[in-house]
Amino acid sequence: MKPVVKRMTLALALCALGAQGLAEDMPIVNDMPIVVDEPLEQDAAAEAEPSAEEDEHARVKQAQELLIELRYLAAGADGIYGPNTAIALRAFQKDFGLAADGVLNDATMQALQAKAEKKADIKTLQQRLIDLGYLTGAADGIFGDHTKKAVQLFQSMHGLEASGEVDAATRAALFADGAEALPEPLNPGDCGERVEALQKRLIQFGFLGGAIDGQYGKKTSAAVKLFQEHLARQQAYAGLDITANGKATPLTLMILTDPDYSSYIGDIEAGGTGSEVQRVERRLISLGYMDKAEDKQFDDYAVETALEFQRAAGIEQGVFGQAFFDALFSEKAPEAEHFVPHLIAEGDSGLAVREVEEALVLAGMTIKMPTGGYDAKLITAITRLHDYLKAKDSPDASLFIVPERLTVEAQDWITQKLQDVATDLDATTGNAEDIRRVQRRLHMLYYLSRIGIDGRMGTKSVDALKRFQEVNGLPATGEADATTRDLLFSDGAASERIPYRVEVDISHQRVYVYELQDDGSYQQTQNFICSTGVKDATPRGIYLDGFPCNRWHYFKKFDCWAQYSFEIEGDIMFHSVLYSSQDESTLRSGSVYALGSRASHGCIRLEVKSAKWLFEHCKRGTLVILIY
């Protein structure tokens, strides 16, 4: 057999390629295939082992794959050594200090492999940082500023030197099972348990005031921003990339939830002012020591509450430095057994006012629903107390000569001694004020309507007293004997067991329905959004005679209609949103959009389904309505 002659045809001649290599301005051309005529016959042994040409083809293809991975070559790996491959090799060789001759020698191949391995290692590092939340984006194998900052952050969070270099200690910590991941971010608009946990920590450190509601709204966002601004002022966190934008980033959350985090910046002094004083006041309020609104003034009362905290915490008194800050903002900070007392006056609000209100209600001096506000109704009750004591020739009447203000001594008398006076009466003697005190207590316990408070022990009052005695396990005599009085004017007095208790919370624009259970307790079963009267148009109080009125109700004064009207008292009603006529298609959308805010003339507007529920379930005599 004659040997096979291979004919090789070059499809494209390469120009201007000499000892100096490709000219810089030479256009890029694609690698072209070398066409080889196939032999008619081949030896079997030759087929079993790759030829030198095939070896070279595989070597070029491997180099191309590495060049593509390292971003020196964009075209596919085809094993053909063409101009693009040559240009890519030269660029790589130049970057790595090799002779830039475009020759795929052993040194170049080894450098390619080493660089690819290093890039793969960086990718692995980046992916681990991404998985732990320290790095965002994709793992690209490029160790740039973004990756370096992520490494520094990881190092900072794990007690390592924040060099940004992945040394042995950093690598070991990064890939350890116990490596701490950054939490998922939280943003305005989020809600749920994680937001509740965020709010709890913000309250703990004095950046947020008020209650936890699980809603990432404006107040929470502002509190997060305050915390971020605080971090920017703390030297320990000055090097971290923290933006004060109100968004709870993973880093923000990581620091805030760190059990070892200290918010201390500097000492504060008596008479001082500023944001750190405000934080201290917020925390003292949340722990129950302080009963005034924060005002950024470390005045005498604020200092007194801080000293009381120091006594409770067992730390040095009178020095408000790091030990004080760390104890105050600790998760284990002791709560106050009672707030530090202070003078209260008309216009004030808080715990001290509420304590006075509750004591006056318990003594039958008022039917004012306790709100914590020192208002005209409270002034009337204090005036009544003064007149009552004066009529009995009590020297304690002098404590209440000016009802618009109460000293600490006067508050102590109301909360500690008034109870003894409360039971000192005989409603059978005809003393009108004594009878009214009995009637007020019966009203506040849902046994007697408000119009029954008239100073006369008539049939309705006697029946109400008998019912109180029955419910509380006393002989139903209808007489206010000593045993009855002791229970009636005490915290242990049981209220009337009415099937439904409907509470209207004006502050939150909500209506809550509680249903009586077999064991005598009440369980909330309904929660309605509502619109109460603008300003104070909806009267607060207890109402016992509510009843369903009209399926459609016309309000002549305002020329509008509503569904499912339910009278509370007089012109004050529950009813649906408004209509222009007795037709559901004439719904006034403005009344719907206003739900959740004060918008009515005094009535309590509800969604149609909510008004219908009350209308159908709560008949006259089956509910008590509390508006507060």
Domain ranges of the chain: 8-104, 114-174, 193-256, 344-407, 423-496, 500-627
Q: What percent of the chain has pLDDT over 70?
A: 91
Quick one: average pLDDT of 15-32? 34
**Which neighbouring-strand residues pair with 543?**
625
How far is it, in rounded angstroms, from Cα 340 to Cα 359?
18
Q: What is the pLDDT of residue 91?
A: 87
CATH number at 423-496: 1.10.101
- Tell me which of 595 and 243 has the higher pLDDT: 595
Please report how the helices 193-204 and 275-286 are oriented relative to each other, as an axis angle in degrees rounded to 10: 110
Considering only 154-168, 209-223, 326-340, 353-367, which range has the smallest mean pLDDT?
A: 154-168
Using 50, 70 and 90 to split pLDDT, how confident is the model at 421?
Answer: confident
Among left, alpha and beta (phi > 0; psi -120 to 50; other), residue 481 is: beta
Which residues are CB-contacts of 16 (< 8 A; sequence separation ≥ 6)? 22, 23, 26
Tens of pLDDT along 571-596?
A: 999 999 999 999 999 999 999 999 99
Quick one: average pLDDT of 349-360? 97
One of 1.10.287, 1.10.101, 1.10.3470, 3.90.550 is the CATH number of 344-407, namely 1.10.101
Residue 441: pLDDT above 80?
Answer: yes
Using 50, 70 and 90 to split pLDDT, how confident is the model at 136?
Answer: confident
Residue 104: pLDDT above 70?
Answer: yes
**Residues 96, 101, 107, 113: is their CA dihedral positive or negative?**
positive
Quick one: average pLDDT of 382-407? 96
Q: What is the dihedral of CA 471, 475, 477, 478, to 10 degrees?
A: -30
Residue 71: pLDDT above 70?
Answer: yes
Residue 237: pLDDT above 80?
Answer: no
Q: What percent of the chain has pLDDT over 90?
A: 70
Domains 114-174 and 344-407 belong to one CATH topology: yes
Q: What is the pLDDT of residue 32?
A: 39
Top mean pLDDT of 119-123, 153-157, 466-470 is at 466-470
Residue 180: pLDDT above 90?
Answer: no
Q: What is the pLDDT of residue 594?
A: 98
423 burial class (0-12, 13-18, 19+ CB within 10 angstroms)?
middle
- How many CB atoms within 10 Å of residue 601? 13
- Tell me which of 380 and 86 has the higher pLDDT: 380
CATH number at 500-627: 2.40.440.10
Give the mean pLDDT of the chain.
Answer: 89
How far is it, in rounded angstroms, from Cα 302 to Cα 295?
10
Q: What is the pLDDT of residue 49?
A: 64
Contact 36, 8 (CB under 8 A): yes
Tens of pLDDT along 32-63?
A: 343 334 444 444 444 556 677 788 888 888 88
Quick one: average pLDDT of 9-14? 28
Size of the chain, expressed as the number of residues it contains: 628
Quick one: average pLDDT of 277-300? 96
* Superfamily designation of domain 114-174: PGBD-like superfamily/PGBD (1.10.101.10)
- Tell me which of 141 and 220 has the higher pLDDT: 220
